[in-house]
Each structure stands twice: as structure tokens, then as C-alpha cells.
């Protein structure tokens, strides 16, 4: 049995089977400019919007996380389209590297009886070869949807943690590298807390964003009802390749300018948040490190090649909110918005030469 066969047999997770053959997805050449990056992002966006309605803001932030090499925690009520969104993203990226034999998309439903090996993979004894071989777990994929992450035990959560932070899994003292494009979309339900294991702060810190999906607006909801269940017009939107995404990440990192004053502003915000009396635990330095690519990506998505105060304004709440431990009764979002004002004002003043 080849590893490939084993994969197909054991994981029992839905394999991506696009209804129609994938069109010629690859752009003529690999992305070379920020405009190309924008085009890649636009394709992904179009595909996701086709599946998920009224969630443009969330889609944009998911794209930012994807290009910024971060992971996203989606928090919302059941039936609000979390899984649909993740699937839409996973199925939009095609594998252009057949040799690594990785799936485009995997979904893990976290349950209380799950074991770490169910996530990472396990060594099994092959009676034919009389040797142990590693059977890959579901994390060996480009996009992984982790459903209800707070329903499983901490040891499973920790196993995922290593995978997310290091992009590798270790089984029986053997380290297996995950793909460079390893993107986790985790979901959790904020209300049903019976029998859950809430993620500790340290683990929340591994997620670039925690996004709360608000209920969609009336028109979008009506549109969902109207189109639900009816076979869609076979509409084939172009996909993107794994290579596109990975190359884009590098381009964004290199070509989008982050001024020293913007960095100062970011650090000032973080320091102000830490110094605030209402905050019990402030944001980490890792958070700031991760914030830079996210800011760069958002700048690109908004058609700029430099990071500006508007990017800081947009991303600060989703970047910092889940990393702050605040005193009871304090509204985190209001606190962040309030803290932003001073540094943002200073940055804006600096652009016209102090004053």
C-alpha cells in the first residue's frame, strides 16, 4: 500500500472533487508584481463571494491572513457560513505540485474523544515490509478547516498548536514538515460552552485574527434562501495555484513599504495597550511581528504599495482583541479604538512635518 492509498483509505475525509474539471487556472506566469498579487487575491475573493454572501469584510480579512501567513479563528453562531467559507477557500487553491501528494483542503471536526494522532498522523506497522511507516494526518493539506476547535481536549489542541506555529509535526521523534502554504481556519461557537475546552491565551496568540461573523444583512439572507438547494448555473470562476499564493506572500513582504513611523505607531499602540490599567495582559511582540505582513497585505488589497494609518485602523481590532485580557466589564473594541487615536494622530501629524 502506498502512502497515497493509505491516505485515501484512512482519513475518510471528503476529498475535494470539483463538480467540473478545473479550468486552466494558472496565470500566464507566476506573480511578479503587486498587481499580479492583487489579481490572485481578486480571484480568490470572487470564488468565495460566489459561495458566501454578505461577508465581504470577513472574506477580505481571511485573504489578508492567507497572504500574511497567519491563521484565522472564526467565531460565530451555528449556521452562519463558517464552514462554507472555509470550503470555498480550500477548493479555490489547486495543487500545482503533484509530487508532494498533499490535499488542497482537509476538514477536521474536533470532538472530545479525538486523539493527537488523529490530527498529526500516526506510525503504522506495515506487515508487508515489516516496517513502520508514517501515515499522514489531516493537517497535511494546504487549507485545513478545524471545526469547533474548543470541543476537543487540550492535548489535541496542543498538537495542532505545534503544527500551526512551526509548520511541522513530530510523531515518534520524527519530524515531518508541512507545506509552506499551511493555512488553518478554525471555528468555535461562542455560546455553547458546556463540555468545551476554551483556548488559553497562549493558543489564541497563534491565530493572527479572531473574526466574529455578524449576521448577514436582510438582502443577503433573502438571496441565500432564494438560491439554496437550487442547482447553480455552472459558473466556473478561475482558481489559483499554490505557487501563486506562496509567491504572492514573498512579493508582498518585499515590495510593500512599511515606513519607520508606521512601525513606531504600531509599537506605540501596543505599548499604550499594555500600559492601560484596564488591561491585565497586553499584546505580545509576536503579534506585532505577525501584524506587519498583515498590514502589508491589506495595503495591497486596497491598491496601495505602502502601509498607511488606515490599515492600522482597520486591522488593530481584529489583531489585538483576542490577545488582550481585560478587566471585567471593559469593552475590548472600544478600548482599542480609543487607544488607537493618539498614535494614529501622531502618525498623521508626522506626515506633514511634525506640527
Nearest residue (CB) to another protein, 56 versus 345: 345
Give residues in contact with another protein (CB under 8 A): 257, 259, 261-262, 304-310, 312-313, 340-342, 344-345, 348-353, 355
Give me the phi and psi of 131, to 5 degrees please: -145, 160
Nearest residue (CB) to another protein, 176 versus 346: 346
The residue behind cell 488589497 is 301
Distance of closest approach, residue 268 Cβ to another protein, in angstroms: 13
Which cell numbers in the block locate residue 120?
Answer: 498529526
Distance of closest approach, residue 54 Cβ to another protein, in angstroms: 22
Distance of closest approach, residue 250 Cβ to another protein, in angstroms: 19
Task: Yes or no: say if 248 and 67 are a contact pair by the CB < 8 Å rule.
Answer: yes
Alpha helix segments (H runs only) across the chain: 3-10, 34-51, 56-67, 82-90, 116-120, 154-166, 201-204, 218-227, 242-255, 260-275, 285-301, 309-320, 332-351
183 class by beta-carbon count within 10 Å (0-12 exposed, 13-18 middle, 19+ buried): buried
Nearest residue (CB) to another protein, 86 versus 340: 340
Distances (CA, A) of 194 to 56, 189, 202: 32, 11, 22
Distance of closest approach, residue 343 Cβ to another protein, in angstroms: 9
Nearest residue (CB) to another protein, 225 versus 352: 352
Nearest residue (CB) to another protein, 313 versus 325: 313
User: 3-class SS at 283?
Assistant: coil
**Nearest C-alpha neighbor of 183 from the set 212, 201, 199, 206:** 206
Distance of closest approach, residue 355 Cβ to another protein, in angstroms: 7
Which cell numbers in the block locate residue 9?
Answer: 483509505
Nearest residue (CB) to another protein, 1 versus 292: 292
Distance of closest approach, residue 340 Cβ to another protein, in angstroms: 7
CB atoms within 10 A of CB 249: 21
Nearest residue (CB) to another protein, 119 versus 344: 344
Long-range contacts of 190-193 (CB under 8 A, 24+ apart): 190/75, 190/76, 190/77, 191/77
Distance of closest approach, residue 269 Cβ to another protein, in angstroms: 12
Amino acid at each position: 500500500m502506498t502512502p497515497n492509498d493509505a491516505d485515501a483509505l484512512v482519513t475518510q475525509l471528503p476529498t475535494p472533487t470539483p463538480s467540473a474539471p478545473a479550468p486552466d487556472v494558472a496565470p500566464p506566469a507566476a506573480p511578479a508584481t503587486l498587481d499580479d498579487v492583487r489579481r490572485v487575491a481578486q480571484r480568490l475573493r470572487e470564488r468565495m463571494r460566489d459561495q458566501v454572501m454578505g461577508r465581504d469584510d470577513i472574506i477580505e480579512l481571511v485573504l489578508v491572513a492567507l497572504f500574511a501567513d497567519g491563521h484565522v479563528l472564526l467565531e460565530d453562531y451555528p449556521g452562519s457560513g463558517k464552514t462554507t467559507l472555509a470550503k470555498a477557500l480550500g477548493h479555490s487553491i489547486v495543487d500545482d505540485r503533484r509530487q508532494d501528494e498533499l490535499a488542497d483542503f482537509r476538514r477536521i471536526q474536533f470532538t472530545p474523544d479525538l486523539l493527537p494522532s488523529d490530527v498529526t498522523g500516526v506510525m503504522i506497522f506495515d506487515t508487508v515490509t515489516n516496517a513502520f511507516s508514517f501515515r499522514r494526518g489531516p493537517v497535511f493539506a494546504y487549507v485545513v478547516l478545524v471545526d469547533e476547535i474548543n470541543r476537543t481536549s487540550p492535548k489535541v489542541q496542543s498538537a495542532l498548536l505545534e503544527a500551526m506555529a512551526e509548520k511541522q509535526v513530530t510523531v515518534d521523534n520524527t519530524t515531518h514538515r508541512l507545506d509552506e502554504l499551511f493555512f488553518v481556519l478554525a471555528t468555535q461557537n461562542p455560546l455553547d460552552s458546556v463540555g468545551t475546552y476554551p483556548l488559553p491565551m497562549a493558543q489564541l496568540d497563534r491565530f493572527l485574527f479572531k473574526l466574529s461573523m455578524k449576521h448577514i444583512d436582510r438582502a443577503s439572507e433573502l438571496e441565500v434562501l432564494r438560491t439554496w438547494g437550487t442547482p447553480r448555473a455552472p459558473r466556473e470562476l478561475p482558481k489559483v495555484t499554490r505557487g501563486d499564493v506562496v509567491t504572492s506572500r514573498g512579493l508582498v513582504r518585499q515590495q510593500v513599504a512599511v515606513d519607520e513611523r508606521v512601525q513606531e505607531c504600531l509599537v506605540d499602540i501596543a505599548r499604550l495597550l499594555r500600559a492601560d490599567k484596564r488591561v491585565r495582559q497586553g499584546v505580545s511582540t509576536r503579534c506585532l511581528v505577525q501584524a506587519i505582513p498583515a498590514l502589508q497585505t491589506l495595503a495591497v488589497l486596497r491598491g496601495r504599495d505602502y502601509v498607511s494609518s488606515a490599515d492600522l485602523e482597520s486591522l488593530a481590532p481584529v489583531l489585538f482583541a483576542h490577545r488582550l485580557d481585560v478587566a471585567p466589564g471593559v469593552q475590548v473594541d472600544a478600548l482599542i479604538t480609543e487607544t488607537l487615536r493618539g498614535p494614529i494622530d501622531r502618525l498623521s501629524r508626522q506626515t506633514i512635518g511634525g506640527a
